[in-house]
């Protein structure tokens, strides 16, 4: 979680400064996929993970993108566990996650690097707290 936090908050920061129009379109497409699959955990998970990878791509830093891809499996497992270990809370988690992803994207789209980093920090902290609570 600490490694993911370090990598992804910085990816959001740099994406806000460097994202090209095609990066913004790709990130937005993942949000649309998440919104369309709020009741389908498997599909939602795929779009959720791709959101994070598109931000890494938008940072325009090949090494950062590669490092985030190294932990891709852990990210996907983490997202999946959050949605499947507490099926009664999956809808709530999905809605919260989508709202937080939209905040991250808005900051990136606005070019506000500090807000993008803060929004990603909040998202990772919230998701981590949820996962720790349901795996106790």
Structure tokens at 108: 């990136």
- Say which residues have a Cβ less than 8 Å from residue 81's Cβ, sequence separation at least 6: 131, 135
Whether 133 shows a pLDDT value over 90: the answer reads: no
**Rounded Cα gap, residues 56 and 81, in angstroms:** 22
* Reported pTM: 0.91
What per-residue confidence (pLDDT) applies to 105?
98
Integer angstrom CA distances of residue 30 from 17, 49, 85, 126: 20, 9, 23, 20
Given this model, what pLDDT does residue 41 score? 86
């Amino acid at each position: 979680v600490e490694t993911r936090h370090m990598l992804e908050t910085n990816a959001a920061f740099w994406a806000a400064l460097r994202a090209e129009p095609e990066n913004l379109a790709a990130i937005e497409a993942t949000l649309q996929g998440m919104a369309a699959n709020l009741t389908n955990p498997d599909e939602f998970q795929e779009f959720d993970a791709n959101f994070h990878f598109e931000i890494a791509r938008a940072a325009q830093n090949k090494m950062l993108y590669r490092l985030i891809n190294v932990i891709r499996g852990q990210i996907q497992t983490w997202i999946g566990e959050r949605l499947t270990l507490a099926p009664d809370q999956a809808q709530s988690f999905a809605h919260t996650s989508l709202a937080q992803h939209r905040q991250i994207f808005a900051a990136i789209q606005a070019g506000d690097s500090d807000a993008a980093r803060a929004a990603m920090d909040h998202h990772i902290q919230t998701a981590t707290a949820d996962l720790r609570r349901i795996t106790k």
